[in-house]
Amino acid sequence: MGGANGLQETIPDANELAESIMSQCPRYSICTFSSSIAETEPEAFSLLRTRYCNGNYSACARFAVMKALGPERVPMNLHPHHHDQARALISGR
Ligand code: SF4
C-alpha cells in the first residue's frame, strides 16, 4: 500500500475524464435541434453538435428550456448558444 497506488485510485485517468466531460446529451433522442439548422447551416450545426450535444450539454440553451419548461416549449429556432432567449423564456418574459 504505497502513496503512488493510493493516488492512482483517486485520480481518474485521461480516458475516464474525457468520457465524463464528453458525454452525449440525455435529451438527444427527443431534441429537434437538427431539423432547425442541419440543412441550412451545416457547419454551424456540426460545431454546435460537437460543443453541446456531444460535449457540454448542461450549458445548452435548449437543454435549459427543456428542463425548466418541458420539451414542447423549446422553439425550433432556439439554438444551443442562445442563452439570452432561453433565460427570457424561462423567466416568462
Ligand atoms: S441541442 Fe441541446 S438539448 Fe438538444 S441534444 Fe443538443 S445539447 Fe441536448
Residue 87 has pLDDT above 80, yes or no: yes
What are 78's three cell numbers? 432556439
Distance 66 CA to ligand 1 centre (A): 9
Q: Model confidence at 36, in pLDDT bands (50, 70, 90)?
A: confident
28 Cα–ligand 1 center, Å: 6
* Banded model confidence at residue 21, pLDDT cuts 50, 70, 90: low
State the CB neighbour count (10 A cutoff) for residue 64: 20
Question: pTM of the prediction?
Answer: 0.76
- 67/50 Cα distance (integer angstroms): 20
Q: Is the CB of 45 under 6 A from ligand 1?
A: no
